[in-house]
Amino acid sequence: MKAFELVYVVEDDWIASVVTEMLLEQNEAFGTVRKFTNGQSALNALRQATEIPDLILLDLNMPVMDGWEFLEGFSALLLPKRVPVCVLTSSIHPNDIAKSKSYKEVAAYFSKPLDDDTLVQIVRLLG
């Protein structure tokens, strides 16, 4: 039994999402990874999903629907269980960090790049 059976990666940068997926797959705590290139497609998937993810890794700057709008839509969803969101972004803007904390759905804020240490932290925090 893995700590996070299903993980959503919401990230428009193809390389970043592939790298994230690889790292997650190499770590025993994480199971299946589903990638979305913007907030809208992730939100659509959540609305229709039969299987609710155990963790969402969310980028902020994305076209069509960015991370903030995703969080607005996400917090309005009625999900059968609580799904922790970790913001994973290149932004170090203090406003972004402060704004993230204002969402109760956001469990943590991480700066890219994602690495094994960060994954260990996520497991310790949320696993």
Which residues sit at the interface with other proteins, rule CB under 8 A? 13, 15-16, 18-19, 22-23, 38, 61, 63-64, 66, 69, 89-93, 111-115
* Min separation Cβ 64 and other proteins, Å: 6
Beta carbon nearer to other proteins, 20 or 83: 20
Q: Which is nearer to other proteins, 30 or 83 (CB)?
A: 30
| Closest distance of CB 121 from other proteins, Å | 16
CA distance 40 to 10: 10
Q: How far is the CB of 2 from other proteins (least distance, A)?
A: 21
Instruction: Find out whether 55 and 122 touch, Cβ atoms under 8 Å.
Output: yes
Residue 113 CA to residue 19 CA, distance in Å, equals 9
Q: Which residue, 78 or 92, is less far from other proteins as judged by CB?
A: 92
Beta bridge partners of 88: 110
Rounded to a whole number of angstroms, the minimum distance from the CB of residue 45 to other proteins is: 16
**Closer residue to other proteins, CB minimum distance, 25 or 82:** 25
The DSSP bridge pattern shows strands 4-10 and 30-36 to be: parallel
Buried/exposed code over 47-71 (b: 16+ C-beta within 10 A; e: otherwise): eeeeeebbbbbbbbebeebbbbebb
For residue 57, the one-letter residue type is L
CB-CB contact of 62 with 35 (8 Å): no
